[in-house]
Amino acid sequence: MSRNSAEKLGLEPMRLLDLDRVENTAGLLEEMSRTAFTGRALGEALTVAERMFRDEDCWVVLTLSGAMTMAGLRQLITLMIERKWVQCVVATGALVGHGMVEELGMTHYKARRDISDETYQEHGLNRVYDTIEPEENLDQMELLLRERLSALADEREEPLGTAELLDYLGRNLPGHGVLQLAAEHGVPLIIPAFSDSELGLDFAVHRLIRREANKRPLAYDGMRDLEQFARRCEDVFTSGRRLGIFTIGGGVPRNWAQQVGPYLDIRNKRMGQKPVDLRYTYGVRICPDPVHYGHLSGCTYSEGVSWGKFLSVKDGGQYAEVLLDATVAWPLLVQALRERGL
């Protein structure tokens, strides 16, 4: 009776994990998708991610928070750009800045538990969990930025957003990292909370220095990023294509990218224009924050449906959420996708 009831409801039978059937990372995640808990979630994320990246009519946004570049995972970002899995990147300024440090040839270090934070501070070493960013790195980055920002300020009068600024830097700074590849492939790189980072602070100081020298400072307009991003998403929607989102962590990048549908909805409603019901069709989230803490980084895709950010599963939405440290889950997913021929 129980088995018949389960089958009537369309429940899939569990299957024992069999390592003898596993030949590579993709095979392992496929096996895990038939087990339980976080292992199943990670295996299911592979399926959704593969569908999203193979969908030629899907425009995918990669959102990034946390110290992923400083943690040594920069190649995962560049690979996703080079292989055209993603068409836009929304990140924290810290993630971009720490990545820029490495792109310019400087080094991060492993932190040691037997060294105190007071000692690190005395030596000009900034700790991010178990990794060290020397202050000297940031000073060297600022010197290079100052030169490029001055050249840009001399030639541009119109206000710019971070997508335009980072595209300019990607085309004019040495290296072969996230900035340069995003510019090369025409992938907008956006920092919504720009001043919440060393990179944004350097930009702010550069404006003050220009004013002190009686020179025109670079004009910044954070709303340009929102308007340009919304325009791109609207173009995707009106052409009958789909939107997808691949999220590492939470924070501002995640919700800033997700709220494009509500933005277009209230824009048109309050301006007396035709309503736009733009929603994401695909979503993959790797973030250890659970829903019961009540903050936005733990918000589920189902909750996002209520805000008009995502299609419901009933309407065709396909989502996977993995409550796991991205430094574990993300490399496994990317490697598995590569093995699947993406």
Could you report the per-residue pLDDT of 208-250, keeping only the tens digit for each? 999 999 999 999 999 999 999 999 999 999 999 999 999 999 9
Are the beta carbons of 63 and 189 closer than 8 angstroms?
no
Phi, psi of 300 (to 5 degrees): -85, 165
Residue 295: the pLDDT is 81
What residues of the chain score a pLDDT lower than 70? 1-3
Residue 8: the pLDDT is 87
Residue of 163, 105, 109, 159 lying closest to 134 (CA atoms): 109
Residue 275: the pLDDT is 87
From edge to edge, which strands make up the β-sheet containing 131-134?
Answer: 109-110, 131-134, 125-128
Residue 2: the pLDDT is 55
DSSP string over 211-235? HHTT-PPPPB-THHHHHHHHHHHHH
Q: Are strands 131-134 and 125-128 parallel, antiparallel or unpaired?
A: antiparallel
Q: Are strands 109-110 and 131-134 parallel, antiparallel or unpaired?
A: antiparallel
DSSP string over 231-253? HHHHHHHHTT-EEEEEEES-HHH
Residue 238: the pLDDT is 94
Angle between helices 93-103 and 135-155 (to 10 degrees): 100
Listed in sequence order, the residues at least 6 apart from 2 whose beta carbon sits closer than 8 Å to its beta carbon are: none
DSSP string over 42-69? HHHHHHHHHHHHH-TTEEEEEEE-SSTT
Sketch out the chain's domains with CATH numbers: 57-107+134-325 (3.40.910.10)
CA–CA dist 133, 125 (Å, integer): 6
Residue 4: the pLDDT is 79
Are the beta carbons of 304 and 247 closer than 8 angstroms?
no
Are the beta carbons of 89 and 182 closer than 8 angstroms?
yes
Q: In a 3-state reduction of DSSP, which class is residue 72?
A: coil
